[in-house]
Structure 1
Amino acid sequence: MKILEQIAQSIVEQTSSLLGVSMSITDAEGVIVACDRKERIGSLHRASAQVIREGREVVFTKNKAKILENVLPGIATPIRLHNQIIGVLGIIGEPSEVEKFVNIVRNHVEMILHENFRTESLLLQMKTTELFVQHLIHFNEWENNGELENYCEMLGYRFHLPRVCLILHLPSLAQIKAEAKPVAFSQIELKNVICHLFQATMSDIVCPIGQDKWIVLKQIEEQKMGTLAELCERSARKLTLFLERHHLHCKVSISYGKCYKGLEGASKSYRQAHKALIIGLEKNKNNAVYSFDSWAILPDIFLEEMDFSFLDLFADDIQKIWAHPEAEMLVKTFLSYCENNMNVSRTARFLYVHRNTLIYRLNKINQLFKIDVQSFEQCQVLYIVLKKSIENRALQRKG
């Protein structure tokens, strides 16, 4: 069994050093896979076949060992995992002297094997869940949705009740990955923490979706969505404390979409949560929680989703503003004026300028565009044009 081969040598080295005895471990085929005498590793230990066949401890005295090939005096005992013999543990030495170690060491080996098997099983389950979630969040790319539904049913997941998608952003995890630093906790430990914070039922799906992101697909009734922000705020604080205890310092951010039924609904909620996270981290860095239906970021999401094709309609006006010698100042002034609810006094305080200075600048904008700066509809159009124009210029500079 692979799991035995992977950990056998470390078990032998640690245990033999601690107890001061010589040890070996063979696999179910009788091949020595671990030994403190490393020259024996890889050799066939035929006597292990007797131990495996009889399923019991066998004593090898000096006289008995002499007539057997590749056998040393000591005691050999079967190693079991889930009631199946998977190998043989050999404690080498005078049988009367080493017998006191046999049960202790065998139990220790089997306990480590059980723990490693459990860990491997959990990691495999996590990988399977992650693969399913990756397919799910790209639901629209599937040509045959029935395949995904069968996959879902095979894993035992149900999407007939409303679910909301939450994305947990833990940037320090990507940093330590890039710097190849050791992590003081396992993925399973982190998953247990996240499950403790968010998982109300076993139907809630929790798994990583990248180096620095985890996803939670949580069953929730629509009327309880109002409590989600508080849960996320509380959970972000606790996750931050968890990371800090392991010397990882970063801002934990959590975003979520709306709740929907079905696979397509879960995919839609993910896209909303993902968009809310991107815009939230860019526009509201001090916040820990971002909701897709928050009006604090919805205008920016609206602008983000809008393509650049409509800018052709305003090409002359855009060229006029950027050709102006005071373009940067005028654009900043107008955007600030709109973002401060078209309130002159508030905008002046925000820009640290005199009220008359602000009015002078707004008059210049009025002259450039023939716009009524007191009209919400007119300012709204120019605001969108300028915001997308700035974004377009930034992309062109990068290109």
Structure 2
Amino acid sequence: MLELDSALAQHIVDRAMAILPHNINVMDAQGMIIGSGDPARLHTRHEGAQLVLANRRVVEIDEQAATCLRGVRPGVNLPLLHADELIGVLGITGDPEVVRPYAELVRMAAEMLVEQRQLQAERHWQRHQLDAWLRQLFDPTVPIGTLAADAERQGLTLAWPRHVCLLELQDGGEPLAQQARLLGVLSSKSEHLAAPLGMREMFWCRPLHAGRDDAHWLEGADERGWGVARLLISDPVQSLEQLRQACLALRDLQAFARARYPALRLVALEEHRLPTLLHAQRNSWLLQGWLAPLKKVLAHDSSGVLRETLEAWCEHDGQVQSCAAALGIHRNTLRYRLERIAELSGVELTRLDRRLQLSLGLGLIEPD
């Protein structure tokens, strides 16, 4: 059963007394005054309210009756109901003949305020439950079966396919205000799910729409001052299991983007799939062996010239002329550097797979 609290009771009093020229009291289910236009009457017991609670009916008290009851003044006292449950009493101070016409209207308004507050509390609870569920998508220790059961319990139905997005928020400003504003925007449609993941992160799960222009969305976000620093996007997902995998992959994509492209604002997994996968395994023994040839080169490259040359060589797909032009050096100088790289690494640079090994490796080893 809903219990009246002093904040809600005083809110009812203030709203009613802004219209009526009479004092209003609100009593709880024990007959204690918890809201009143007369502060001196707060936290005192109202015997007239106790009569209402005991008999579940309206009790009118005139001057003569008031002298026989403790903590009571003339007026009309009415039961407050919520879902047919008696939760308290509303009292209007004054001659019953004068205040009676207002009694039912004030009670109706009060019960509407109680219902509104209860709906707000239920929505807040549902929002809290949904936020917790969405955050659990990023926790691999929570079984998929548990997620599915919790989704069913919450009445959460997901239509497939969907995209999963991770939004990083800009530094500066009030993060809670930023999150609240974005949460309102991202959750404006029922099929869109959003939740804060941290002080500067938001999760967004949205239906897949062909032709969606995320670059344009970022421009609009900037124009509206939403404070989005970066948008990371997963591949489309077709099930709850894939949704979980996409969330975990977004964390790997985020780590890769922060390391290699800190200024890049729109990062899609489909464009960085392989380097993201390798970056997530960058500390493994197997991958360290794969990086060994490149590390030999970089160990003898204190000036950074060989790294710069190798990056240009891979970027221009092994084309000597365009690579030399990009570096601003003679073709012979380029050939000398490439021979030096091949000598140090033991890698045959004319082979595409070996160039790819070095090119991807450059993305996993930070410049000194």
Give your verdict on TM over 0.5: yes
What is the CA–CA distance in structure 2 between the aligned matches of 1:271 and 1:142, rounded to whole Å? Answer: 12
Pair 1:304–1:206, CA change in 2 (3 A): same
What is the CA–CA distance in structure 2 between the aligned matches of 1:265 and 1:110, rounded to whole Å? Answer: 46
Q: 5+ residue gaps in structure 2?
A: none
1:124-139 correspondence to structure 2 within 5 Å: 124-138=125-139
Q: What's 2:183 paired with?
A: 190
Amino acid across the alignment from 1:171: L
What is the CA–CA distance in structure 1 between the aligned matches of 2:12 and 2:345, rounded to whole Å? Answer: 78
Q: What's 1:74 paired with?
A: 75
Q: 5+ residue gaps in structure 1?
A: 219-224, 394-399
CA RMSD, 1 decimal:
4.0
TM-superposed deviation, 1:255: 1.7
What is the CA–CA distance in structure 1 between the aligned matches of 2:169 and 2:187, rounded to whole Å? Answer: 19
What is the CA–CA distance in structure 2 between the aligned matches of 1:196 and 1:71, rounded to whole Å? Answer: 49
Aligned to 2:249, the other structure's residue is in SS state helix
Q: What's 1:306 paired with?
A: 281
Q: What's 2:360 paired with?
A: 384
What is the CA–CA distance in structure 2 between the aligned matches of 1:93 and 1:283, rounded to whole Å? Answer: 73
**Which whole-Å deviations, capped at 9, do the CAs of 1:256-303 have from their partners, x for residues lacking one?**
333233x43331232234444554566385554x443x2x22233133
What is the CA–CA distance in structure 1 between the aligned matches of 2:316 and 2:107, rounded to whole Å? Answer: 72
2:169/2:227 contact within 8 Å kept: no
Amino acid across the alignment from 1:37: D
Pair 1:340–1:63, CA change in 2 (3 A): farther
1:33-52 correspondence to structure 2 within 5 Å: 33-52=34-53
Q: What's 2:298 paired with?
A: 321
Pair 1:174–1:100, CA change in 2 (3 A): farther
1:28/1:86 contact within 8 Å kept: yes
Amino acid across the alignment from 1:118: L
What is the CA–CA distance in structure 2 between the aligned matches of 1:118 and 1:379, rounded to whole Å? Answer: 62
Task: Return the TM-score normalized by structure 2.
Answer: 0.77
What is the CA–CA distance in structure 1 between the aligned matches of 2:217 and 2:362, rounded to whole Å? Answer: 38
2:76/2:99 contact within 8 Å kept: yes
What is the CA–CA distance in structure 1 between the aligned matches of 2:349 and 2:340, rounded to whole Å? Answer: 11
Q: What's 1:213 paired with?
A: 202
What is the CA–CA distance in structure 1 between the aligned matches of 2:359 and 2:348, rounded to whole Å? Answer: 13
Percent of aligned pairs with the same amino acid: 18
Q: Aligned pairs, how many?
A: 362
2:141 matched to 1:141?
yes
Specify which structure has the higher proportion of helix: 1
Aligned with 1:167 (options 165, 168, 186): 165
Amino acid across the alignment from 1:306: Q
**Which whole-Å deviations, capped at 9, do the CAs of 1:314-335 have from their partners, x for residues lacking one?**
6576255334331x23313322
Amino acid across the alignment from 1:154: R
Aligned to 1:8, the other structure's residue is in SS state helix
TM-superposed deviation, 1:69: 0.5
